[in-house]
């Protein structure tokens, strides 16, 4: 769906440094992508760019909120830690739901 030209356009928009973070809405506007909802296309491009080797970080609970390119190892480490924590919480919730179902429905378990 995306290619290197799309990544280059994105990288030209996203600033370096947390203090310069910009929102997905602004990125979407700049790329001519849809700005309604939660900017799915923009967020998918960001995921693709990260998977392609770029160091794009984001924050939704600190000011400024948004995306930036990081050159700070401690920011990268903190982001990795946060993502791993969130992933573990989601996995725990999924396991709890499965276990609850299986306890209530022992003849019809989810494996």
Instruction: Read off the pLDDT of residues 52-72 as tens digits, 9 standing for 90 and up.
Output: 999 999 998 878 899 999 999
CATH of 1-71, one of 1.10.490.10, 2.70.170.10, 1.20.140.10, 1.10.10.10: 1.10.10.10
Helix (H, G, I), strand (E, B) or coil at 57: strand
What kind and span of H or E run contains 66? strand 66-69
Instruction: Read off the pLDDT of residues 92-108 as tens digits, 9 standing for 90 and up.
Output: 999 999 999 999 999 99
Instruction: Read off the pLDDT of residues 29-42 as tens digits, 9 standing for 90 and up.
Output: 999 999 988 899 99
Instruction: Return phi, psi of residue 72, to 5°.
Output: -110, 110
The domain locations on the chain are: 1-71, 72-111
């Amino acid at each position: 769906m995306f290619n290197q030209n799309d990544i280059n356009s994105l990288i030209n928009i996203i600033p370096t440094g947390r203090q310069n973070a910009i929102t997905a809405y602004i990125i979407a506007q700049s790329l001519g992508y849809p700005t309604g909802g939660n900017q799915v296309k923009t967020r998918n491009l960001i995921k693709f760019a990260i998977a392609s080797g770029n160091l794009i970080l984001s924050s939704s609970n600190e000011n400024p909120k948004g995306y930036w390119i990081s050159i700070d190892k401690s920011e990268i480490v903190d982001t990795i830690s946060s993502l791993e924590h969130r992933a573990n919480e989601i996995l725990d919730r999924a396991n709890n739901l499965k276990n609850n179902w299986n306890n209530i429905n022992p003849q019809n378990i989810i494996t």
